Structure 1
């Protein structure tokens, strides 16, 4: 018979066993850590976008996970444009080289149909994660998490296109007076693309070459996300839902292309070749008064993270404290790429991989990760937007987070079909041709023809099924 001391010792050992400890944890992060300790001494791999993104698991979350659980994390860095191919190659080979995955949500129908992603629902229920998933902003949770009603990925990056503008210029009394006299309405963040063009031209006329009205990244592949947003917000549909014939070659498509082309005239010379960094540098140096990009621009413009060695490529902001944040013209912003955490169907360590991504994605850990100045993970949870800690990071951080929250409630989902990369390539090439001076009508006709050829190759009936499911999501098309 055990004496009291022996009995208490036995109870302590029992309480600390993984099968019991995780069930008594206070939150999803603690649950994942407690359950994962049974795998101490093993290693899991995770695919991550090469570059700044990978500094999160390499420098922060990977080492912290190993310290908490004893599980090593091998980070497999892959360029974004190769990630889909690498994931599919590993799946088809059956090698199981990858355990956890980062996937762009628009790839998920392809990956799920192929069988490359593990259904996460059983793990979500086993480890009590369903409630915390409700904290993820609706646009991401409702659009980027499930395929066919099952969870295959955890939205993990609040990618959304936002409008950034120079408050000091927009609030300058002389500029306000002159603009109101010319156009009859107040100088403010544009509500539609007509206002955007009028404001941009006005600022250029008054301030160029020191400051131009706006600047955008125009080099491939970025502009196609802006096209997707504008085309739908102007009333366009990508396909006829019954026939699956492309409908991009339309009056709406032509209006959007002509608008994009005309805007270059009040932007700095050479804007057609600008990439992500060119556009960032010009805005931070004060050359442009408006731009549209992902959330990191807002942080870097405020000077957040300027002392980080990993960000020494980011020009020193000359506009800190002068930048305002707003929704894009017409009020529903493209979610624009994003990432979701998933588990490879061929992994030999599925539960360990799952526990790692639950911990990464949890309210507690994700709040730490989205505040890292040297990575590109953006706020994606309601708790991120409301975090007192985050809202103190720089003076305008509350306005920044409030704007991201609005965008995250109503954002537009990237087109997501089988072989989506082929449709993306067709849009990217079309816009590149637009900058060379080719006739917009001819470009749209060719793009529509390319869309139709891809659909035929995939199979009209098969693609119609996927398109119908995508179009039914709240972020697919704005309400009529």
Structure 2
């Protein structure tokens, strides 16, 4: 393969991880779009024995349990191979994967990648193209079994495939049924009702609990999800029918206004609430409403980790304005890809086939703390999965079987998404109006498009 030359300047760009994905734009602009890599041969295996082979994985921090505790022992039993799992914070994952390849370190064989970082990874020459291999082995891989809502978004870029889907990742709305009953309110179906429920509980509870938990940490995976959940609720999209940014649409304005307006009724302080803080607050009964990933169903029902076991519920994301059809988004989903720096391509190819197959997808999706949602129809439709997610199965199936909004994933997408959430945060903290923030984001996205 050929990768752009590595330099001290590029190392500093990629190591500037405090800004998360935002550091990637200048680096990737310098790389251009001319990176090429050899494709995995169509003859590469989809299974086999791999005694003595240790695959090194660089994965999203919330997925560690799924790889280390669930899959590693099963992979060893099935193939004789070993897994060495390294976790990265979610706001550093894509940049660390690129750095591993372009620095020449080449430590890792398999990447657990954000799908919205796919373009940056490919542009940087970090992911092996899998198209010939997938096409030649489609039946053995079980391509037809992947959910249509996630297969292309998570693996396909400019007509070529670079991975297999691993984590479905949509949001639904969870609620604390005990709090709703105590304060005599019903689960909301619209964002207006959500506001009313949140305000009443926060007011009446007088500090004992909050009506809403709004995840607002200033990274795409957190604040980006909260905004996009409301955007879809109001019937909006990130782009219009002509592919142009639509960040100043009526739906977009309504979505951000909602985030601003609900802040006083939310767990303090939304812009400081990340994944772990939101989960802890909900599981300890501090908040009544939380839009988050569907694996919360397993966490909430686990009495060893939750104080609300048996006292929660879930519905589809609310709607707003003139929109009456619930719709979710593919909020920070993941695929598994083979690093271009791997020296264990055969074992890596076999692993991503095995790890995304039905039996493994079922066990990871059914394990509390694994952080995995279904990517296969057989898992989503199974009685086994329905049994563990209990009351959440309806909205989960509705979301993944529907037409979820797909985030941008071309080269530079993480930078655009970071720029967007930076502007959203300025509106939420009162530094700018909603309209100013969205106008700024719109101009930035339009400029990048030209």
Q: TM-score, normalised by structure 2?
A: 0.78
Identify the residue that residue 295 of structure 2 maps to in structure 1: 296
1:217/1:271 contact within 8 Å kept: yes
Identify the residue that residue 404 of structure 1 maps to in structure 2: 396
Compute the displacement of 1:289 (Å): 1.8
Match of 1:373 among 368, 372, 379: 368
CA 71–431 in structure 1, closer or farther in 2 if over 3 Å, else same: same
Task: Give me the whole-angstrom Cα distance separating, in 2, the residues matched to 1:114 and 1:218.
Answer: 29
Match of 2:307 among 318, 321, 326: 318
Compute the displacement of 1:54 (Å): 2.0
Compute the displacement of 1:438 (Å): 1.6
CA 273–382 in structure 1, closer or farther in 2 if over 3 Å, else same: same
Deviations 1:9-59 (A, max 9, x none): xxxxxxxxxxxxxx9xxxxxxx94xx422x432333222123x42233333
Question: Greater shift after overlay, 162-171 or 405-414?
Answer: 162-171
2:233/2:318 contact within 8 Å kept: no
Alignment of 1:460-479 (within 5 A): 460=450
Identify the residue that residue 438 of structure 1 maps to in structure 2: 431
Question: Greater shift after overlay, 214-223 or 267-276?
Answer: 267-276
Compute the displacement of 1:169 (Å): 4.8
Alignment of 1:382-393 (within 5 A): 382-393=377-388
Identify the residue that residue 159 of structure 1 maps to in structure 2: 169
Structure of larger gyration radius: 1
Task: Give me the whole-angstrom Cα distance separating, in 2, the residues matched to 1:378 and 1:354.
Answer: 21
Q: TM-score, normalised by structure 1?
A: 0.74
Deviations 1:87-113 (A, max 9, x none): 323444566433222111112233334
1:59 aligns with 2:69: yes
| Runs of at least 5 residues in structure 1 that lack an aligned partner in the other structure | 1-22, 24-30, 177-186, 307-315, 461-480
2:298/2:367 contact within 8 Å kept: no
Identify the residue that residue 441 of structure 2 maps to in structure 1: 447
Deviations 1:38-83 (A, max 9, x none): x432333222123x42233333322332333232333333333333
- Aligned to 1:324, what secondary structure does the other structure show? strand
Compute the displacement of 1:354 (Å): 0.4
Compute the displacement of 1:237 (Å): 4.7
| Runs of at least 5 residues in structure 2 that lack an aligned partner in the other structure | 1-42, 320-325
Compute the displacement of 1:294 (Å): 1.2
Compute the displacement of 1:297 (Å): 2.3
- Aligned to 1:352, what secondary structure does the other structure show? helix
Identify the residue that residue 175 of structure 1 maps to in structure 2: 184
- Aligned to 1:426, what secondary structure does the other structure show? helix
Identify the residue that residue 408 of structure 2 maps to in structure 1: 415
Identify the residue that residue 141 of structure 1 maps to in structure 2: 151
Task: Give me the whole-angstrom Cα distance separating, in 2, the residues matched to 1:437 and 1:424.
Answer: 20
1:124/1:130 contact within 8 Å kept: no
CA 44–175 in structure 1, closer or farther in 2 if over 3 Å, else same: closer
Match of 2:80 among 42, 53, 70: 70
- Alignment length (residue pairs): 397
1:355 aligns with 2:353: no
Task: Give me the whole-angstrom Cα distance separating, in 1, the residues matched to 2:139 and 2:332.
Answer: 24
